[in-house]
Amino acid sequence: IVSSVGLAGSFLIGLPTGMSVEERRNIWMSARNLEGVEVLPVCDFNALSLLKCQNLLLTESAFEEVQEFETKINGQGGAQ
């Protein structure tokens, strides 16, 4: 899938926090032997994991979760 869209380099695959443990495990098992690929639930993102990757892949629901988090931060006087 990744090569079909012309992406190369390291990847962080972000999964929604609400995804079942079994679903997360299946995705992790599929990606574990791929060089430069890390799989994390969005709730486990940190600065280092984001800085290490060249590409960020998110499911639609994971993207919405990131947007909700950003809205909460901005709503509480965070940087805009």
Looking at 17-63, which runs of residues are DSSP E strands?
Answer: 37-41, 55-58
CA 78/CA 1 separation, integer angstroms:
36
Q: How many domains does the chain have?
A: 1
CATH code of residue 52: 3.40.50
Is residue 2, in this structure, part of any structural domain at all? no
Is residue 14, in this structure, part of any structural domain at all? yes
pTM for the model stands at 0.75
pLDDT of amino acid 70:
83
Is residue 57, in this structure, part of any structural domain at all? yes
Residues facing residue 41 across a β-bridge? 15
16 CB contacts (<8 Å, ≥6 apart)?
Answer: 41, 42, 59, 61, 62, 65
33 CB contacts (<8 Å, ≥6 apart)?
Answer: none
At 75, the pLDDT band (50, 70, 90 cuts) reads: confident
Is residue 80, in this structure, part of any structural domain at all? no
Range of the domain at 45: 7-75
Express each pLDDT in 13-46 by its tens digit: 999 998 999 999 999 999 888 888 999 999 999 9
Is residue 1, in this structure, part of any structural domain at all? no
